Chains A and B, each alone.
Chain A
Amino acid sequence: MSERRVIGEASAPSLPRHVKLRRDESRGQWVLLAPERVLVPDDIAVEILQRLDGQATVGAVADDLAEKYRSPRAEVLHDVIEMLQDLADKGFLAA
């Protein structure tokens, strides 16, 4: 049995095989597909999810978004970790 995945700045998470980020053209939105679940991530969440490739660290994702949106890095990092920890706890993330 595995341990709970704890997301930190140095984590390099990715979407596991059973979780797919797809463009849902018929509804004009992005969706996160998992068994018996369809999540509709907001724009920022989509930006975060698109950067997860198992290589990029959470810190690097925060750097990137802080620069793109000209926001304080500490706040961005906090929000990214919070969102990803929630996804990990729901079983939607591989760390």
Chain B
Amino acid sequence: MSVPPAPPLALLAELTHRCPLQCPYCSNPLELDRANAEMDTAAWQNVLDQAAAMGILQVHFSGGEPMARGDLADLVRHAARAGLYSNLITSAVLLDERRAAALAEAGLDHVQISFQGTEAGPADVVAGYSGAHEKKLRAARLTRDAGLPLTVNAVMHRGNLDRIEATIAMAADLGAARLEVAHVQYYGWGLKNRAALIPTRAQLEHTTAAVMAARERLKGVMVIDYVVPDYYAARPKACMGGWGRQFVNITPSGRVLPCHAAETIPGLAFESVRDRPLAAIWADSPAFRRFRGTDWMPEPCRSCDRREVDWGGCRCQAFALAGDAAATDPACALSPKHGDVLALAERESAVMAPPAFVYRRMEKIPVLEPGKK
């Protein structure tokens, strides 16, 4: 019997897939959980208790839009009592004075607000929601007024990268202690819209230089985290810090995943916290064991010096780009597919008129019309 794995550090609690926004790069799966499938307050409270007991340190309340749930403050309070560090990942369009105060009072530790741009017009087009940007600016100020620390999460892509300087200035102006400059990652809706989102290499280089300069300029004032699109990289990202190593995701209906995109990989069965304890699923569920550690790795990963640095990159990306979740992540220059991926990035980003966005929407429930076929 092998040694049981160390518990995860963080839980991403996707409370709901409902969201007033329709961003075309949403990390949610294409098949969204419906409202009537969501776990109720008591079930989530039970999950939080289990998480704290097994040694999880942080909970990120996410979605969809977690503020679409009326019980969010109750869940935050429950997490705080269980000793979990709580972070709210929100679009903030539902955040008003009353709710900011309630979340602060409940013991929320941190708020992260996503921004689609720096100007209402183009930002609202990306969000698919008129007035979203103004609401976000207001919500960011309310967050600070409520005494809550703020991270601005700026989601960047070919349509807004040329505004990187303005993005950094906006975050500093809002009093954010932290800014995440996060290039869109190509999973879920982001993968579907990749051709409309992927930057050129020149755009990426300009952004990297701007971020490095701003880090120096704003040292001790605002921390800037930088997430790059790894199609242009030489080495893959250490996705989730390794499969089933540091991070666990629970979907609105209770399925337990190693990452939010894991359900795109065929042949893996994910268990639910409705059926088995979280710690048991983490420890021995076949889906978690499948890519945990280094035993599953093919060459050149298996003998690579970096096998415990990047943990083989990303399994979902390997499946999306190489058609095999157990392959070397094609973002790695050592992958035989790397050249194809680079060529794909260059080809898609060079198209002068990118395709229109496919917005994130719940599939309409089909209406049965008797008599029609």
Nearest B residue to A24 via CB reads B57
Say if the beta carbon of B222 comes within 8 Å of chain A: yes
Nearest B residue to A2 via CB reads B221
Interface residues of A in 48-65 (CB under 8 A from B): none
Q: Does B147 lie within 8 Å of A35, measured CB to CB?
A: no
**Complex partner residue of B178 from A22, A27, A91, CB under 8 angstroms:** A91
**Complex partner residue of B221 from A4, A31, A33, A36, CB under 8 angstroms:** A4
Bound Cα distance from A68 to B172, whole angstroms: 41
Bound Cα distance from A89 to B149, whole angstroms: 16
Interface residues of B in 141-160 (CB under 8 A from A): 147-149, 151
Q: Does A17 lie within 8 Å of B109, measured CB to CB?
A: yes
**Complex partner residue of B6 from A3, A20, A27, CB under 8 angstroms:** A27
Given contacts A18-B109, A26-B55, contact A33 B220 (CB under 8 A): no
Q: Does B151 lie within 8 Å of A35, measured CB to CB?
A: yes
Interface residues of B in 123-165 (CB under 8 A from A): 147-149, 151
- Chain A 62-89 interface mask (CB, 8 Å, partner B; 1/0): 0000000000000000000000000011
Say if the beta carbon of B22 comes within 8 Å of chain A: no
Interface residues of A in 23-37 (CB under 8 A from B): 24-27, 31, 33-36
Chain B residues with Cβ below 8 Å from A36 are 10, 87, 225
Chain A residues with Cβ below 8 Å from B223 are 90-91
Chain B residues with Cβ below 8 Å from A3 are 220-221
Q: Does B7 lie within 8 Å of A16, measured CB to CB?
A: no
Chain B residues with Cβ below 8 Å from A90 are 223
**Complex partner residue of B87 from A2, A26, A31, A35, CB under 8 angstroms:** A35
Q: Does B57 lie within 8 Å of A22, measured CB to CB?
A: yes
**Complex partner residue of A33 from B58, B112, B175, B222, CB under 8 angstroms:** B58
Say if the beta carbon of A1 comes within 8 Å of chain B: yes
Chain A residues with Cβ below 8 Å from B148 are 17
Chain B residues with Cβ below 8 Å from A45 are none
Q: Does A33 lie within 8 Å of B149, measured CB to CB?
A: no
Chain B residues with Cβ below 8 Å from A1 are 172-173, 175, 221
Interface size on A, as a range, is 20 to 34
Q: Does B55 lie within 8 Å of A5, measured CB to CB?
A: no
Bound Cα distance from A6 to B173, whole angstroms: 21
Q: Does B55 lie within 8 Å of A20, measured CB to CB?
A: no
Say if the beta carbon of B83 comes within 8 Å of chain A: yes
- Chain B 177-193 interface mask (CB, 8 Å, partner A; 1/0): 11000000000000000
Q: Does B54 lie within 8 Å of A26, measured CB to CB?
A: yes
Give chain A's interface secondary structure class.
Answer: loop
Chain B residues with Cβ below 8 Å from A31 are 57
Chain B residues with Cβ below 8 Å from A26 are 7, 54-55
Q: Does A91 lie within 8 Å of B9, measured CB to CB?
A: no
Bound Cα distance from A38 to B173, whole angstroms: 27
Bound Cα distance from A1 to B151, whole angstroms: 14
Say if the beta carbon of B85 comes within 8 Å of chain A: yes
Q: Does B57 lie within 8 Å of A38, measured CB to CB?
A: yes
Chain A residues with Cβ below 8 Å from B112 are 35
CB A93 to nearest CB in B, in angstroms, measures 9
Nearest B residue to A93 via CB reads B220
For B9, B57, B147, B220, the residue with the greatest tally of chain A CB atoms inside 10 Å of its CB is B220
Q: Does B55 lie within 8 Å of A24, measured CB to CB?
A: yes
Nearest A residue to B219 via CB reads A89
Chain B residues with Cβ below 8 Å from A16 are 149, 177
Nearest A residue to B54 via CB reads A26
Say if the beta carbon of B302 comes within 8 Å of chain A: no
- Not counting A17-B110, A22-B85, a sample of 14 additional A-B residue pairs whose C-beta atoms are within 8 angstroms of each other reads A1-B172, A4-B221, A16-B149, A17-B147, A18-B110, A20-B109, A22-B83, A26-B7, A33-B85, A34-B110, A35-B109, A35-B151, A35-B178, A91-B222
Interface residues of A (CB under 8 A from B): 1-6, 16-18, 20, 22, 24-27, 31, 33-36, 38, 88-91
Pick the 8 closest A-B CB pairs, nearest first.
A26-B55, A4-B220, A18-B149, A91-B223, A33-B85, A18-B110, A89-B220, A35-B110
A-B pairs with beta carbons under 8 Å apart, 10 shown: A1-B173, A2-B221, A6-B220, A17-B148, A18-B109, A18-B110, A22-B85, A24-B57, A33-B109, A36-B225
